[in-house]
Amino acid sequence: MQILNERLANYLEKVRILEQENAELECKIQKECNKELCVACPDYVSYYATIEELQRKILCTKAENSRLVSQIDNTKLAADDMRAKYEAEMSVRQLVEADAKGLQQILNALTLAQADLEAQVQSLKEELLCLKNNHGEEINSLQSQLGDRLNIEVTAAPSVDLNQVLQEMRCQYESIMETNRREVEQWFNTQMEGLNQQVMTSSEQQQCCLKEVTGLRRTVNALEIELQAQHRMRDSQECILVETEARYTALLAQIQCLIDNVEAQLADIRCALERQNQEYEILLDVKSRLECEIARYHSLLESSDVKLPCSPCATKCEPSMHHPQLPAGHTGPAVPTDACPEYWLKSAPSLRRFRMAKSFLLMSMCSLASSSELSESNIPR
């Protein structure tokens, strides 16, 4: 009985030690969870000056927007992968916690079974004591009734040895308890080893994931700052582009106005040239006619050989090829001096018209030449 009590005490001590270790393990797991929940972002207050300087440098440089967008997309994909890994680790941790809770329930059930067995053992002990007391009382009463005179031999069936039965029951229950204890200890040890390994691997992976997440957050923040700077640069470049387009649009409008004015001047000059060409053709026609008349007059003057009489009372005029001498400086055509008065009367208006036409022709040709020179000087090069 004392050995059984000592074994029960040892078993209870081991159970209490395991409970303490389980409680410590749960505390560690809770602390790790709190650390995961209480991860604080780093303080960037000391980097504000550096960030401003970098922003100014970034604003002064040209970067490639497409490369930044691709890097941001790759970072987002990596962050999604890390988030998936983190969720997987969280699910593993929840499974481990569920296994620990199941082990705790099994331990509680074993504790209850042990208490029931102890109660049964105590009841059996009390029953054995009662049976011993009743047997002793019956023996004493029979001995007092019969005394020392009678020796009665009773042939009955052999009585059952209760001590042996109790010893067998005790051995049976002890063997059952020992096997159960060993199985539970072995299962608990295997579960705890697996749990410890999973916790260690999950903690290492969690630390690596946290480091990667912090690095990715820093990269994302830097890329966001650079993206904002690039957006501001793009806005400024768009403003400069709009201003440049407006300025060049105004310049193009001015140049178009100048071109329109020059084209209008060219159209006027072309009209003037066409008009002058028409006038020139008219004058050429007049000149050709006058030349024809001059040639005709020359032929008439050369063919006429009429001698004028010395007095107006002469009888007849006879033609003669004698031409009088003309005064010095005379450039006109030779006129026969011996022509009759009728010829002079007839030829005087024609000569006058000839001289007038000749002077008009010379004036027209001079004005045409001056106007053509003026138009050529007005044509823009």
Look up the domain containing 354 and give its range.
Answer: 252-310+335-378
Q: What percent of the chain has pLDDT over 70?
A: 70
Give me the number of domains the chain comprises.
2
Judge if 39 and 140 occupy the same domain: yes
Which two tokens mark 323?
Answer: 């031409």
Judge if 221 and 100 occupy the same domain: yes
Q: Residue 103 corresponds to which amino acid? A: L
| Closest alpha carbon to 32 in 89, 82, 99, 103 | 89
Q: What is the pLDDT of residue 313?
A: 39
Mean pLDDT of the chain: 74
Q: Residue 302 falls within a domain, yes or no? A: yes
Judge if 235 and 259 occupy the same domain: no
Q: What is the pLDDT of residue 63?
A: 62
Quick one: pLDDT band at residue 362, thresholds 50, 70, 90? low
- Are the beta carbons of 65 and 234 closer than 8 angstroms? yes
Question: Residues 173-179: what's their mean pLDDT?
Answer: 84
Q: Residue 323 falls within a domain, yes or no? A: no
Confirm whether pTM is higher than 0.85.
no
Span 80-110, pLDDT tens digits = 888 888 888 888 888 888 888 888 888 888 8
Judge if 193 and 302 occupy the same domain: no
Which two tokens mark 304?
Answer: 């006429």
Judge if 81 and 180 occupy the same domain: yes
Q: Residue 287 corresponds to which amino acid? A: K
Judge if 89 and 216 occupy the same domain: yes
Span 190-234, pLDDT tens digits = 888 887 888 788 778 878 888 888 888 888 888 888 888 888 888
Distance CA(260)–CA(233), nearest Å, equals 40
Judge if 184 and 287 occupy the same domain: no
Domain end (from 225, 244, 263)? 244
- Are the beta carbons of 194 and 29 closer than 8 angstroms? no
Q: Residue 319 falls within a domain, yes or no? A: no
Kindly report the number of other CB atoms within 10 A of residue 347's CB atom: 18
Judge if 217 and 262 occupy the same domain: no
Quick one: pLDDT band at residue 62, thresholds 50, 70, 90? low
- Classify the C-alpha dihedral 210-215-218-221 as positive or negative: negative
Judge if 232 and 257 occupy the same domain: no
Judge if 283 and 217 occupy the same domain: no
